[in-house]
């Protein structure tokens, strides 16, 4: 890592022990394991936010019109549109 900062992290003993065990099994340092875990969590949260924002911009009426338009091939078995 080229731009590194330090942060004093306090973990419950049980969590630290579990992380140390997993890091050792993976062949990485405790620091690398924690840094990777934090990066993965950030990515997951950003991805969830991205899709939530996309959902808010979605035009579900246009989507339904496309799915129910005439012509084309019928949906495969199991891909039919259910009506509520």
Domain limits of the chain?
Answer: 13-68
CA distance linking residue 30 with residue 20, whole number of Å: 6
Q: pLDDT tens digits for 1-52?
A: 578 899 999 999 999 999 999 999 999 999 999 999 999 999 999 999 999 9
Among 27, 31, 29, which Cα is nearest to 8's? 31
CA distance 4 to 57: 37
Residue 18 is encoded by which pair of tokens?
């579990």
Concatenate the DSSP letters of all residues of 12-35 into one string.
Answer: -HHHHHHHHHHHHHHT--HHHHHH
**pLDDT confidence band for 75 (50 / 70 / 90):** confident
């Amino acid at each position: 890592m080229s731009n590194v900062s330090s942060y004093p992290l306090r973990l419950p003993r049980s969590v630290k022990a579990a992380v140390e065990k997993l890091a050792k099994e993976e062949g990485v340092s405790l620091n690398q394991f924690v840094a990777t875990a934090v990066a993965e969590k950030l990515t997951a949260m950003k991805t969830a936010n991205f899709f939530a924002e996309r959902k808010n911009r979605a035009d579900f009426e246009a989507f339904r019109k496309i799915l129910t338009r005439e012509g084309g091939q019928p949906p495969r078995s199991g891909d039919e549109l259910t009506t509520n």
